[in-house]
Amino acid sequence: MALNEYGSYLVLVVLLVIAPGPDTMVTLKNSLTSGGRGGLLTITGVFAGNVINGSAAALGLGALIAHSQPVFTTLRWCGVVFLCYLGVQALRGAWRGEYSPDGATARGRHSGFRSMREGFLSNITNPKVLVMYLSVLPQFIDPASTSMIEALALANLVGVFGAVWLLLLLFFVQRARVWLNRRRVRRSIDAMTGTALVGFGLALAVPSS
């Protein structure tokens, strides 16, 4: 790949990762509920999901999944249910408005495993992530000249940039934690993340044409 093509790819990757999506909302939610550790573990889960999706796309397995209607549909509906579940939980927290001084909800902090699981599932059960890889990578990969290592490196660059972006979000949340944990502000954020997650879930329920 020529230098200018690398530049174009990097610009496209940055635009993709900064666009708000389910991963961003889940990271924001868990960063507030479970603190820095919860946010970091959520990001780890998201990164793992991106590595699997990106590697599958680079190795040709992603295309098989995307073209297998039963598998793709099952994955899509798992994503719908999961995102709507997380959204409803966030909306319930906003409705109750019961927060401890450290920002945890009345249900308490999430376990580390739960935070990581939510980050992983928000990514891996969203087939639009896989479709994104399958749409972007072929524009920059020439099967005749691109090695498997190069293809994997390009694919997983999305996960790396995505993790960096989410870490910046986590840093902001921690720096502004006192203000963000004010009851009125926190209820507004929970309402926003809950509505967004339900919206992403419902959008996922509509098959792409």
The pLDDT tens digits of the residues spanning 147-192 come to 888 889 989 999 999 999 999 999 999 999 888 888 889 999 999 9
Does 115 map to a domain?
Answer: yes
Share of the chain above pLDDT 70, in %: 91
Output the pTM of the full model: 0.89
Does 110 map to a domain?
Answer: yes
Structural domain tally of the chain?
1
Mean pLDDT of 84-103: 83
142 pLDDT exceeds 80?
A: no
- Residue 30: pLDDT band (50, 70, 90) is very high
Q: How many CB atoms lie within 10 A of CB 81?
A: 14
Does 11 map to a domain?
Answer: no
Q: Is there a contact between 195 and 95 (Cβ–Cβ < 8 Å)?
A: no
Range of the domain at 197: 21-205
Does 192 map to a domain?
Answer: yes
The residue whose two tokens read 């940055």 is 14
Q: Is there a contact between 123 and 131 (Cβ–Cβ < 8 Å)?
A: no
Does 1 map to a domain?
Answer: no
Does 91 map to a domain?
Answer: yes
Q: How far apart are CA 183 and CA 103, in angstroms?
A: 9
Does 51 map to a domain?
Answer: yes
Residue 38 neighbours by CB under 8 Å, 6+ apart: 30, 31, 109, 110, 112, 115
Does 9 map to a domain?
Answer: no
